[in-house]
Amino acid sequence: MFVVSVMPCTAKKYEINRPEMDDSGFRDVDVVITTRELARMIRQAGLNFAKLPDEEFDTPMGVASGAGLIFGATGGVLEAALRTIYEIETGQELPLPGYVQSLRGMDGLKQAEIEMPDGKIRVAIAHGTGNAKLVMEKIKAGEHFHFVEIMGCPGGCVGGGGQPILSYRRGWEGSMDYRMDRADSIYKAEKDLPYRKSHENPEVKKLYEEFLDHPFSEKAHKLLHTSYTPRSPFPKAD
Ligand code: SF4
């Protein structure tokens, strides 16, 4: 098996070498290419996607939920998690408008309070490292959040370093419009998917039933979480 990940993110080329990425004794991912590189390969090969027949994706991981799709936009990871948490806790869908609207959009720092049966959940969303710093300053000053989502790239992965290059002809504000357009397109696309919450995705359910035991199991915690340590912004010279 040779695993190729297609990513919006140049940082993933570094991450495949993280020590925990060989749990089976083999590297989990062999090669990372960016969406921009894939697009160039498609063009070089002369493929016209519009003329190719549609096919189902292979399993496992062939079924994508809307919750997975919105991971690409700032606020999307947090919204995806809340769709599941809110429904499990209240038996109802996370309401839109209301909560969901406060999690979306290109404001650098968004905050919301979500009413749950046992009290409020306070959340914060930041994109771009300047805004990440603002969240950290709030936490240092004593503010408490139950859930913080930080995406390194402005707009989230839709504006990732490996994505097709954004035009800056309209300046920084104009580039944010492009990111917003990309985010809008994934929110539109996810509305038509048969599954919009991670816990409804049949392949996620099967993964827990047959391999990870149950949500929050020891195995799930070990395999689905990571930790970070301070490191230099520049790779060390050999
Ligand atoms: S936000 Fe940027 S740095 Fe973070 S995963 Fe997405 S593309 Fe990579």
At 55-110, the pLDDT tens digits run 988 888 899 999 999 999 999 999 999 999 999 999 999 887 677 778 899 999 99
Say which range, 15-19, 25-29, 165-169, has the weakest mean pLDDT. Answer: 165-169
Q: Identify the pLDDT of residue 5.
A: 96
Q: Identify the pLDDT of residue 108.
A: 93
- φ/ψ of 158, rounded to 5, equals -60, -25
Atom of ligand 1 nearest to the CA of 8: 7
Tell whether pTM > 0.85. Answer: yes
Q: Identify the pLDDT of residue 175.
A: 82
The verdict on residue 9 lying in a domain is no
The parent domain of residue 128 ranges over 56-224
Q: Is the CB of 158 under 6 A from ligand 1?
A: no
Model pLDDT for residues 167-187, shown as the tens digit of each residue: 666 677 778 888 999 999 999
Confidence band for 217, pLDDT divided at 50, 70 and 90: very high
Mean pLDDT (whole number) for 208-215: 93
The verdict on residue 51 lying in a domain is no
The Cα–Cα gap between 180 and 106 comes to 7
Question: Does the N-terminal peptide bond of residue 154 adopt cis geometry, omega within 30 degrees of 0?
Answer: no
Q: Is the CB of 10 under 6 A from ligand 1?
A: no
Q: Identify the pLDDT of residue 177.
A: 86
The verdict on residue 170 lying in a domain is yes
Question: From atom 6 of ligand 1, which residue's Cα is the shortest distance away?
Answer: 157
The Cα–Cα gap between 170 and 223 comes to 43
Counting the structural domains of the chain, the total is 1
Model pLDDT for residues 136-159, shown as the tens digit of each residue: 999 999 999 999 999 999 999 999
The verdict on residue 42 lying in a domain is no
Atom of ligand 1 nearest to the CA of 162: 7
Say which range, 16-25, 31-40, 47-56, 118-127, has the weakest mean pLDDT. Answer: 16-25
Mutate to test the pocket of ligand 1, among 153, 158, 166, 186 (most ligand atoms within 8 A of CB): 153
Average pLDDT, the chain: 91
The verdict on residue 8 lying in a domain is no
The verdict on residue 238 lying in a domain is no
Q: Identify the pLDDT of residue 237.
A: 65
Mean pLDDT (whole number) for 112-134: 94
Q: Identify the pLDDT of residue 9.
A: 96
Q: Is the CB of 160 under 6 A from ligand 1?
A: yes
Query: 95 or 133, which is more confident?
Result: 133
The verdict on residue 131 lying in a domain is yes
User: Residue 207 contacts by C-beta under 8 Å, 6 or more apart in sequence?
Assistant: 60
Atom of ligand 1 nearest to the CA of 74: 1
How far does the centroid of ligand 1 lie from the alpha carbon of residue 73, in Å? Answer: 10
Confidence band for 166, pLDDT divided at 50, 70 and 90: confident
The Cα–Cα gap between 15 and 8 comes to 13
The verdict on residue 145 lying in a domain is yes
Query: 235 or 49, which is more confident?
Result: 49
- For residue 152, what is the domain's CATH number? 3.40.950.10
